[in-house]
Chains A and B, each alone.
Chain A
Amino acid sequence: MTGEEIKKVVEILLQYLVPTLKVFGFTLLYSIPLGMIVALLKMSKIKPISWITNLYILVMRGTPLMLQVIVAYYAIPMLKQSEGLPSFMQNLLASVDIKSDSFMFNAVIVAFTLNYAAYFAEIFRGGIESIPKGQYEAAAALSMTKTQTFFHIILPQVIKRVVPASSNEIITLVKDTSLANVVAYAEITMKAKQQMQLHSSLVPLFIAGAFYFAMAMILTVISSIVEKKLNYYK
């Protein structure tokens, strides 16, 4: 490939960095709060809630994300075709426009969010359970409510403990965004593959790889800064 061609490929891939970052950003935005809720549900004293949550986590962690993306993308069109569904379901399905541009994106985000929430939930649960009982007792002896105790005493300590494991997940997520191309979501990996075929050259793939590598490096630096910031206490 000539220098001119390489420059062109870099420009194209840079454009498709946006859809990649969109999957990354929205997945984080939704899966971290959802993961916190799932963690609390799993620790619920009401057994059936805890069991159902656990089943959800097992399925999400026990099956490939790629498969989940495919299911999320094809489930609604398939259900639309099937007969004998109750009318409210048919109405609900009819309200989803599967031909719209946002449908594919939404399906990808749903699959990624549900998958990553399960992983985050397990990290957060470990963090919450590692806080000594004495912290809850001290807060209770000071007449703090359960909500105050959770948000002001427990959660800040949990955040410190889950930062290393969470940054691992977040770096994995950057690379996992490439799985979205399985439903033809146009992002960097897909474009790099097209450019590879167009130019009969591996260079576009290396350029895409460099992009992922740079993003992972940036995240690594950010996470070590955050870890250092939280190091003001032991």
Chain B
Amino acid sequence: MAMLEVRNISKSFGSNKVLKDISFNVEKGEVLAIIGPSGSGKSTLLRCINQLERADGGTIKVCGLDMLVKNERGKTVYAPPDKLREIRLKIGLVFQNFNLFPHMNVLRNVTEAPIRVLKQKKSSAEGYAMKLLSQMGLYDKSEAYPCELSGGQQQRVSIARALALDPEMLFFDEPTSALDPELTGEILKVIRKLADDGMTMVIVTHEMAFARDVADHVIFMENGVIADEGTPEQLFGANASERTKQFLQRY
């Protein structure tokens, strides 16, 4: 069963068509990388699946649950709020700018949602959070505040925060774009490790070498459509389309 089924998604901001007829699947354990020039709609696509934007048309299924469907009259409608909430819990999202909560220390950033949303006991939420933080190499930073951490450390906290809700899938929206080049490596290592552990992931990225290395499937987006897609070997190989080659030349 596909973890994520996206069919014919479209989205406009005013007269600007950002997404046109996008369809793809993500299987369990698969790592999908989405690449493409700025403004091609990559982030909007992620945000539509994460309910941070509302898609105008198409259908989305997450873990077999209908999130966006066409009703009898052919209108595109979202699932009822409680269903949307259930679906949202299945997907974790890591932002480009981390968006950590600055007034909470690292530990509380990670435990806030499990305690408030999943109604977990504080002690068990903290136990699990500490486990995640050690996996991220941040065991000794649990009492620190986000402003005291480097960008790479902040991004690792935000990955731990997303994992704390035990999502089925993890989305990354340009996770290294706000980082110094020296710090991108530590984030890519963490994502690499998650991929090895079998985490299903969708990664919007400008790190071509990384996409090639870690992804099972790559989508190249341009002007709101999927311009090219395939395995990394296909897209980064000699048989890629002219446009893909042209785009990749810059990296």
Q: How many residues of B contact A (CB 8 A)?
A: 26
User: In whole angstroms, how far apart are the Cα atoms of A143 and B91 in the complex?
Assistant: 10
User: In whole angstroms, how far apart are the Cα atoms of A137 and B147 in the complex?
Assistant: 19
Q: How far is the CB of B105 from chain A (nearest CB, A)?
A: 9
Contact B145 A135 (CB under 8 A): no
Interface magnitude class on chain A: 10 to 19
Q: How far is the CB of B91 from chain A (nearest CB, A)?
A: 8
Question: With a CB–CB cut-off of 8 A, which chain A residues contact B210?
Answer: none
Q: Determine whether A233 belongs to the interface, using a CB cutoff of 8 Å to chain B.
A: yes
Task: From A141, A148, A233, A234, give the contact of B116 (CB < 8 A).
Answer: A148
Most central of A141, A152, A232 by chain B CB within 10 Å: A141
Q: Determine whether B204 belongs to the interface, using a CB cutoff of 8 Å to chain A.
A: no
Contact A234 B102 (CB under 8 A): yes
Contact A141 B52 (CB under 8 A): yes
Contact A134 B117 (CB under 8 A): no
Q: How far is the CB of B219 from chain A (nearest CB, A)?
A: 21
Contact B113 A134 (CB under 8 A): no
Query: Which of B63-71, B93-101, B225-233 faces chain A?
Result: B93-101
Q: Determine whether B112 belongs to the interface, using a CB cutoff of 8 Å to chain A.
A: yes
User: In whole angstroms, how far apart are the Cα atoms of A132 and B98 in the complex?
Assistant: 12
Give the contacts of B70-119 with A (CB-CB under 8 A). 85, 88-89, 92-93, 95, 97, 99-103, 112-113, 116-117
Q: Determine whether A157 belongs to the interface, using a CB cutoff of 8 Å to chain B.
A: yes
Contact A144 B102 (CB under 8 A): no
Contact B52 A144 (CB under 8 A): no
Question: With a CB–CB cut-off of 8 A, which chain B residues contact A141?
Answer: 50, 52, 88, 92-93, 95, 162
**Mask: chain A, 192-234; 1 = CB below 8 Å from B; 0 = not:** 0000000000000000000000000000000000000000111
Question: With a CB–CB cut-off of 8 A, which chain B residues contact A234?
Answer: 102, 147
Question: With a CB–CB cut-off of 8 A, which chain B residues contact A137?
Answer: 52, 95, 99
Task: From B85, B99, B158, give the contact of A143 (CB < 8 A).
Answer: B85
Contact residues of A: prevailing secondary structure: helix
Q: Determine whether B146 belongs to the interface, using a CB cutoff of 8 Å to chain A.
A: yes
User: In whole angstroms, how far apart are the Cα atoms of A156 and B108 in the complex?
Assistant: 14
Question: With a CB–CB cut-off of 8 A, which chain B residues contact A76?
Answer: none
Most central of A142, A148, A160 by chain B CB within 10 Å: A142
Q: How far is the CB of B155 from chain A (nearest CB, A)?
A: 13
Given A135-B99, A138-B99, A152-B112, A143:B88 Cβ within 8 A = yes
Q: Determine whether B133 belongs to the interface, using a CB cutoff of 8 Å to chain A.
A: no
Contact A142 B112 (CB under 8 A): yes
Contact A140 B103 (CB under 8 A): no
Which 7 pairs of residues, A with B, have the shortest CB-CB distance? A138-B99, A142-B113, A134-B99, A141-B93, A234-B147, A233-B145, A143-B117
22 contacts between A and B (CB under 8 A): A132-B99, A134-B95, A134-B99, A135-B99, A137-B99, A140-B88, A141-B50, A141-B88, A141-B93, A142-B112, A142-B162, A143-B85, A143-B88, A143-B117, A143-B165, A144-B112, A144-B116, A152-B116, A157-B102, A233-B102, A233-B103, A233-B147
